[in-house]
Structure 1
Amino acid sequence: MDLDLAQVRAFVLAAEELHFGQAAEKLSISQQALSKRIARLESRLGMQLFDRGGQGVRLTEAGHRFLEPAGQALAAADLAVAAVLDVHRPLRIDVWGHLYAPMRTVAQAAARTSELRLELGHGRDLPSAAAALLHADIDAAFGRVHPPLPAGLTHRLVRLEPVDAILSADHPLASEPALRPEQLRDSVLWTPGALDRLDFLHRFAERFGVRDHAEGANLGLDHFLADLAADPRRFSLLPADVPLPQTPEIRLVPLVEPTPLYAWSLLWRGRGHPLMGALVNAFVAEAGRNRWLEYDPSRDWLPESSLPALANRFEDEGGRTVADSPRAD
């Protein structure tokens, strides 16, 4: 029996979402078109794959049996297409979280691997990068990943980066050699956008009792720093080694007890581009070389939304989990 892969793809997405409307949205088709594809597949198979009742949709027993091999068939088809069409095309990777300079990490990982041919782009945020992956507009994405993550995407934690507090030089705490996060609770958290859309900063404020925040448009690092320096009550967070312009109006102060960590992840769909394995291997090697994945809960802080990713930490060549090796102080 020859199966229509468009029908199979509609079934797999609907089975993962258990919601025809959401599955149709991911395929960029109407719900009616998705329902027709699934109905034609059921007719071809001579089996009902979904129970469509008042309580929503559920997989039938036949649907459960069909789901795993159907997903494998789609993955094999995607790989076959990629092998023919994409072998000479650069791997397209988008980054987001631009104030935190994600290109530093991507460039460092890719620089040691001559076979990697990358075409770099910029996404707005995690949802836009995920949508581009699902529509095959890009091959991979790099930034901070947090739930909810659409079905069909794979991500790996590749770097845990300490962040510092960045303050106006006139801030009452600007002269301190180091700060505990809780010391910032009476300051104003300055964010380049709405706080509820910036998961890391939002969770930092909740965890350490920062009550006040102010926000502005994300117009780049220089604008962000100028707005920060304009108010002596403001602070924000930036990775400790982000290149900053030399300006006397701001101070970068280390955070300790605990040190917040910003979690960078690599995100992709299926096996995809033939160079995807080389890119993952490059990050594995660089993470081990630079001790990027070390985490000690007694002295570090990660938002709860980042903790599940720790289960997917890379291993070094000796088979040890990189994050389990001791960190040099």
Structure 2
Amino acid sequence: MDLDLAQVRAFTVTAERLHFGQAAAELFLTQQALSKRVARLEDALGRKLFERTGHGVELTAAGRRFLEPARELVRAGEAAVAAARLDERPLRIGVWGHLFAPMRTLRTLVDREPGLAIELGPRPGFTEAMAGLRSGEIDFGLGRTHALDEPWPPAVTRRLVRLEPVKAVMSRENPLAGVDVLSPADLRAGRMWFPAPAGRVGFLAAFAAHFAVPADFAGINLGLDPFFGYLHDHPEHFSLICADVEVPPAADLHEAALAGPVPLYAWHAVWRTHERHAVLPQLLAAFAAAARDEGWLDHDPQRHWLPEEDMPSA
């Protein structure tokens, strides 16, 4: 019998969730498409794998017997694909959160490990990066992950790799532009702006809610130059970006450090849990070395603030 790996993966994820809706979301499928894959697998095996109950779904006896070998089959398939591709291409990295300049972090790693065989490409956001991991279009992602309405998918590993201070940027005509250091509470006298819906900028939305800072999330993200140009032309607004992002002198903007507490922007790395690309261990080791040498994961709750979902694990 020739088993379809996509169908087997659909079964294993559903068996782990015991919920078709959650499994479909993890696999980036509709529930209808997921149900069809499971039904075709059951037809091929000649056995029912799930029993629908009033409370959801449960594995049948055949489903319980099939689960662990099915997991092994999925792992073997992923390992086979990784082995076949190993010598043919670099590790493909997708990045998002472009106004916070994720390339700076990767440039630091490449400077530390110049032999890293990586290939970079932008992703519109976290959801698109997760879809790229699932489809195999990318092998690794770097950006801020969002809160999920369900447990983190076991097929994807997530790791906090950097906590970066942010600063306020604004027109020199902004009423807040008279000082070089502001507290988050000071920002309540202004109005924060960012060119994206609040749902795509979880850090800024959480910051605004926590410190009661008025905020407008509107507009289109066209890159740093239009971003700086908007702030220059709209002195009623300020925005937040990572402290190391360079503001060109031609932008003619005021920059203010934040303190009391210092907000930290969290960068996460995500990759397929069973990824076997040879460059992955080198890249993770480079992240760990940079965190150790440059304090990328330093966090003091008395001096820093970041959203609860970004808190480092104890």
- Normalising by structure 2, what TM-score? 0.89
| One-letter identity of the residue aligned with 1:152 | A
Partner of 1:323: none
TM-aligned CA deviation for residue 168 of structure 1: 1.5
Q: 1:151 to 1:266 in 2, by over 3 A?
A: same
Alignment of 1:302-321 (within 5 A): 302-307=306-311, 310-311=312-313
| One-letter identity of the residue aligned with 1:127 | T
- More off after superposition, 226-235 vs 62-71: 62-71
Alignment of 1:176-325 (within 5 A): 176-247=179-250, 249-272=252-275, 273-307=277-311, 310-311=312-313
Q: For 1:125-166, what per-residue CA distance to the aligned partner results, in whole angstroms no more than 9, with x for missing partners?
A: 000000010011110110011221545211111110000111
Asked if the contact 1:14/1:20 (under 8 Å) is kept, the reply is yes
Partner of 1:327: none
For residue 162 of structure 1, the aligned residue among 143, 160, 165 is: 165
Asked if the contact 2:154/2:273 (under 8 Å) is kept, the reply is no
Rounded Cα–Cα distance in structure 2 between residues aligned with 1:113 and 1:40 = 51
Rounded Cα–Cα distance in structure 1 between residues aligned with 2:87 and 2:131 = 23
Q: 1:39 to 1:17 in 2, by over 3 A?
A: same
Rounded Cα–Cα distance in structure 2 between residues aligned with 1:14 and 1:269 = 18
Rounded Cα–Cα distance in structure 2 between residues aligned with 1:243 and 1:198 = 20
Rounded Cα–Cα distance in structure 1 between residues aligned with 2:127 and 2:182 = 33
Partner of 2:125: 125
The unaligned stretches of length 5 or more in structure 2 are none
| One-letter identity of the residue aligned with 2:144 | R
Partner of 1:96: 96
Alignment of 1:17-166 (within 5 A): 17-20=17-20, 23-24=23-24, 26=27, 28=29, 30-40=33-43, 43=46, 48-60=48-60, 63=63, 66-68=66-68, 70-148=70-148, 149-166=152-169
Rounded Cα–Cα distance in structure 2 between residues aligned with 1:61 and 1:299 = 54
Q: 1:27 to 1:240 in 2, by over 3 A?
A: closer
Q: For 1:66-109, what per-residue CA distance to the aligned partner results, in whole angstroms no more than 9, with x for missing partners?
A: 54553344223211221123323111101001111100101211
Rounded Cα–Cα distance in structure 2 between residues aligned with 1:24 and 1:212 = 34
The unaligned stretches of length 5 or more in structure 1 are 313-329
Q: 1:68 to 1:259 in 2, by over 3 A?
A: farther
Rounded Cα–Cα distance in structure 1 between residues aligned with 2:292 and 2:6 = 41
Rounded Cα–Cα distance in structure 2 between residues aligned with 1:150 and 1:181 = 34
Rounded Cα–Cα distance in structure 2 between residues aligned with 1:214 and 1:230 = 17
Rounded Cα–Cα distance in structure 2 between residues aligned with 1:106 and 1:80 = 28
Asked if the contact 1:10/1:38 (under 8 Å) is kept, the reply is no
Rounded Cα–Cα distance in structure 1 between residues aligned with 2:199 and 2:10 = 32
Q: 1:254 to 1:270 in 2, by over 3 A?
A: same
TM-aligned CA deviation for residue 259 of structure 1: 0.2
Rounded Cα–Cα distance in structure 2 between residues aligned with 1:16 and 1:237 = 40
- Normalising by structure 1, what TM-score? 0.85
Rounded Cα–Cα distance in structure 1 between residues aligned with 2:214 and 2:78 = 48
Partner of 1:319: none
TM-aligned CA deviation for residue 62 of structure 1: 6.0
| One-letter identity of the residue aligned with 2:180 | P
CA RMSD of aligned residues (A): 2.4
Fraction of identical pairs, as percent: 45
- More off after superposition, 161-170 vs 186-195: 186-195
Equivalences, count = 307
